[in-house]
Each structure stands twice: as C-alpha cells, then as structure tokens.
Amino acid sequence: MNITRENVDALNAVVKVDIAKEDYSDKVEKILIDYRKTANIPGFRKGHVPMGMVKKQYGKAVLVDEVNKLLQDALNKYLTEEKLDVLGQPLPKPQDDIDWDAEGFSFEFELGLAPEFEVELKSKDTITQYNIIADDKMIDEQIERIQKQYGKLVPQDAVEKDSEITGAYKNEEKEIDNTVTLTLDKFKGEATEKQFIGAKVGDVVVLKTKGLYEDNHDLMHALKLGHDDIQDLDIEVSFTITEVNKRELADLDQELFDKLFGEGGVTSVTELKAKIKEDAEKQFVQQADQKLLNDITEYLVENTKFDLPAEFLTKWMQTAGEKEIDAEQAKEEYNKSEKSLRYQLIEGKLITENNVQVTMDDIKEHAREMIKAQMAQFGQLNPSDEELDGIAARVLSNQDEARRISEQLISQKLLALYKEKANLKVKELSYENFVKEVYGDK
C-alpha cells in the first residue's frame, strides 16, 4: 500500500491511496474459505461447495468490503501519524468506473486543512466586565414581595388602589370566559384603574382590550388566549368582580425568618437584607459571566483573522447530515455556521496553548456538588459521601450528561483564563441598570 499527499494550497490537499493485491488477497481468501464452510447451496453438502462457485457468488462483494475497510483504516492511520489537522471528513473523489477485476486500486480523497493563526486575548480596546449589585431598591422590593407572599388576605367592601381583585373576563363572540386575580398596577394608563376604584363585588367593568395591559403576556393570561390571538385584538370584554381583598403584609419577625431560612438562620431585618443581597448577587454573577463570555467570543471571532477551506466545507456539508442536501442549501448552511466554526478553532487553540484540561476527578466533583445543591432544595442538607458518589456514578454513566458537564467545566476554565488575560474594565451597576444597558430599556 502506498499513500501520498499533494498540497493544493495551505487549506486544501489531495491524498492518494494505492492498494495492491498483496494488501487484501490473504484476507479475502480467508473470508471466502470461511464462507465455504458454512455456505448452504442446493445440490452440495455444507462445507463441500466448490471454491470456484463460492468465489463466483461472494467474491466481488467480499473484495469490495475488504478494500473499503482497508482504505478507511489506512486513511485514518495516515491522518493520525502525519498529525494532519483536518476540518470535516475526507471527501472521496467520485469514481464511477472502478474495475473490481483489476489487481490494484487507486483512490483519492480531498482534505480541508485547519488554518494556521495566532490568538491575541489582550485587545486594544477594553471589554466591559460587569459587577452587578443588588441595590437598596431591589432589596426593599424583594422584602415587600416576601411580605405579600406570606401575608394574609383581608376582604374589602370596595376596590382600592392596592386591592387584589378576583373576577371573570367574558366575551361571547370570542368565547372568552376566564377567572383571574389581578392588581391595578398591571394595567396601562390610569383610565382603567379609575374604572375599578370604588367598584364592589357583583359590579361589571367593561374594558377595551387594545392597550389594556403594559405587557401582552398579561393580556394572554387574562383572556386565556394564544399569542397569535391577541395580536391587534380590539374588542370589548366585561369583568365581573367576585372578590375584593387587601393583602396585609406579613410582619418581619422571627417566625417569618424561620419559615424562609430555617430556625435561627436569620435573626434580624439587617441579616435578612444581607442574605437577600448575597443570594441575588450570586445569581447575578452567572448573568455577568455569560455576558462577558459572549462579548469575548464576539471579539475573538471578529479580530482573529484566518481563511477557511470554504469550498471544501460547503461540499462536505452536502453529505455530512442525516439527509443529503444540494449545493445551494449547503452554501446557506455554511454561511450560518461559519462564525461558530471559527470560534471552535479559536477555542481549540486557546485550550491547547494554555493547557486547559478537565480531569475525570473534576467531572465527578462537579457532579457531586450539583447533586448536593439539588438535594438541598428538597431539605436534604447533609447527604453522605456514599450517597453522593452513588448518584454521581449513575449520572455520569449517561455519556451525554458527562459530556455536558465536561463542556461546562471547560467553559468555566476558559472564562477564568479570559478574566486573567483579557483587557477588561470592571463596571459596577445595579441589576436594573445592567438590564437597561445590555438589553435595552424594557
């Protein structure tokens, strides 16, 4: 067997594999001998079928199968030994006229080669690293939500600004008949609020759906309609009041603290505020980290310049999926995935150059901590090591789950690398201002 490579350019090559008779003949002969022992052909006893008949019936199929196996094994071995960094998979050049009666065969494969490039993490311009804090306003609002949640409802004679109103929305034409509990702050504008103030149980308020709520999702919930149904919906609905209540806030006392955090976990309003701030900011770290990861990814893709074997990859995509696609579809698919492919190559280089590794011990420990946190949510605060190890082993026996955890850990290690080496500027702001700055004022 002889394998040669011709580099077309820096990103494309053609590998030629020449297979001689001596490469496959012994194996083909052995398989045919085994076939002869078990062949069941009418007119002959098992094991006594003439070899010529066996070769005539099975010879070519066995030959084709063995040559293809030999070809794939040789090609994979060659790519490994030559340490060729290929993109996609080798593409066989079409051969419609293979003479399987010949003693030797030649096959050619197109290769797409990974480009050579350098990654510079230290950008000229700074990238913002957000430090999101829970400000006093957020903490006070959270405390009020807690007090409302654990408070009690007191019936009222008439609707006031802070009432909780239960009733049914109705419209015969649209077959709307839905009972909800609402508060006046959800409505858009003061006109609707004024229609409710002073109303009593049994009163009917007639409302127009257009511009009724600040958020269309609230209208969907109120009328129990789908997203498409509420688009440009402009009808009248009636709301018949069945209950009017006021929610008295729960006292900020030890009884409430114990309900929230367990006996003695929090013993004062000061400690409650500190706990809310701590828990909120832990969650904010994840959002800030994801934003930083997205921004650095965007920076790396936009500023790390290299060419790709686009023509080869487009051709490869035609047959890479479950269903074969045409050239136009493949081109569209390549354009969609090019940015992702570029980042995969950049990420791979960063992982190699910075020796970013995830061990099996890392994966096991992460699984244990994940399971421990989940168990704590259900009140199991002190599981034994034996119990954690057993559950972790079951989780990691699922290869998809083990791969997901590994990728998550790699992402965490890369994020730590970015924080260490990228040109970052820390910006501290409240969660409300973070949302406005990053996602727009919603």
pLDDT at 56: 85
Domain parsing of the chain, residue ranges:
2-113, 152-248, 281-439
Tens digits of per-residue pLDDT, 128-146? 999 999 999 999 999 999 9
pLDDT at 261: 87
pLDDT at 83: 92
Give me the count of residues in the chain: 442
Please state which CATH number belongs to domain 152-248. 3.10.50
Q: Give the SS3 label for residue 283.
A: helix
Q: What is the DSSP letter of 93?
A: P
Fold identical between 2-113 and 152-248? no
Rounded distance between C-alpha atoms, residue 374 and residue 355, angstroms:
31
CA dihedral of 78, 83, 88, 90, whole degrees rounded to 10 = -20
| First-to-final CA distance of the chain | 67
pLDDT at 86: 95
β-pair partners for 424: 127
CATH topology for 2-113 is: Alpha-Beta Plaits (3.30.70)
pLDDT at 441: 58
The two tokens of residue 211 are: 């511009």
pLDDT at 204: 96
Rounded distance between C-alpha atoms, residue 423 and residue 418, angstroms:
9
Each residue's pLDDT, cut to its tens digit, for the chain (442 residues) gives 999 999 999 999 999 999 999 999 999 989 988 888 877 777 777 777 788 888 888 889 999 999 999 999 999 999 999 999 999 999 999 887 888 888 899 999 999 999 999 999 988 889 999 999 999 999 999 999 999 999 999 999 999 999 999 999 999 999 999 999 999 999 988 899 999 999 999 999 999 999 999 888 899 999 999 988 888 899 999 999 999 999 999 999 999 999 998 889 899 999 999 999 999 999 999 999 999 999 999 999 999 999 999 999 999 999 888 899 999 999 999 999 999 999 999 999 999 999 999 999 999 999 999 998 888 877 777 888 899 999 999 999 999 999 999 999 999 999 999 999 999 999 999 999 999 999 875 4
- What is the residue whose two structure tokens read 């999926």? 321
Tens digits of per-residue pLDDT, 199-215? 999 999 999 999 999 88
- Give the contacts of 336 (CB within 8 A, at least 6 positions apart): none
3-state SS record for 174-239: CCEEEEEEEEHHHECCHHHHHHHCCCCCCCEEEEECCCCECCHHHHHHHHCCCHHHHCCCCCEEEE
pLDDT at 298: 94
Q: How many CB atoms lie within 10 A of CB 398?
A: 10
Rounded distance between C-alpha atoms, residue 269 and residue 251, angstroms:
11
